[in-house]
């Protein structure tokens, strides 16, 4: 009896709290109840209550899911902004240009060639007018590479004494772009 009373009180508290924040709706017809778990207390099924999908607030920006390997690679490269440049390094603590590109794509689940010249010869050639986040950009005749980060910027490890940085795409002579 005491157990049923405690369980009923917990149910009432859960319902009252959920209704107070507007996250729970009651239905008139019996429905399969989603169990509600309260950390440290337990899991409860409340017949007749259905948890709705809560939409985003009106006007709130909704970020699209990151689906492409290129988008995931850029996200990984962002975590290395400020990491030191080191010739021949491919991470995880220091990088040269192609090492950063290769490391970032490896985090996204793809294995790219190691050197900037090899990267410039791989993937699918894309017009510069159709750049997408994650496209590999070749500069200076293929001797330098970086990742297109969107909004006209590239993430790259430029040279000795300069950390991995975000820079305008137009700050270097672009040769071509490759998509993986």
Domain spans, the chain: 2-50, 69-179
- Whole-model pTM? 0.65
> What are the respective helix, strand and coil percentages of the chain, to the nearest 5?
30, 25, 45
- pLDDT reported for residue 49: 65
- pLDDT reported for residue 61: 67
- Kindly state the DSSP code that residue 169 receives in the 8-state scheme: G
Please give the average per-residue pLDDT across 52-72, as a whole number. 73
- pLDDT reported for residue 64: 61
Nearest by Cα to 97 from 109, 89, 107: 89
Active-site residue among 156, 157, 177, 180? 156
pLDDT in tens, 136-180: 999 999 999 999 999 999 999 999 999 999 999 999 999 999 999
- pLDDT reported for residue 142: 96
Question: Token pair of 11, please?
Answer: 């149910």
Active-site residue among 46, 144, 147, 180? 144
Hey, which CATH number is domain 69-179, 1.25.50.20, 3.40.50.300, 3.40.50.12240, 3.90.1720.10?
A: 3.90.1720.10
Active-site residue among 76, 97, 147, 154? 97
Whether 97 is catalytic = yes
| Secondary structure (3-state) at 174 | strand
Above 50 in pLDDT, residue 25? no
């Amino acid at each position: 009896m005491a157990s049923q009373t405690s369980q009923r009180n917990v149910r009432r508290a859960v319902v009252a709290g959920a209704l107070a924040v507007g996250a729970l709706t009651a239905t008139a017809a019996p429905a399969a109840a989603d169990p509600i778990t309260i950390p440290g207390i337990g899991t409860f099924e409340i017949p007749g209550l259905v948890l709705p999908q809560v939409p985003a607030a009106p006007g709130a920006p909704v970020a699209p899911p990151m689906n492409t390997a290129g988008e995931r690679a850029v996200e990984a490269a962002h975590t290395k902004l400020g990491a030191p440049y080191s010739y021949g390094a491919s991470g995880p603590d220091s990088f040269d240009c192609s090492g950063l590109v290769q490391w970032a794509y490896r985090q996204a689940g793809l294995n790219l060639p190691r050197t900037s010249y090899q990267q410039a010869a791989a993937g699918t050639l894309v017009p510069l007018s159709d750049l997408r986040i994650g496209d590999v950009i070749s500069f200076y005749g293929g001797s330098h590479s970086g990742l297109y980060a969107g909004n006209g910027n590239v993430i790259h490890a430029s040279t000795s004494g300069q950390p991995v940085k975000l820079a305008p795409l137009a700050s270097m002579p672009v040769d071509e772009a490759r998509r993986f």
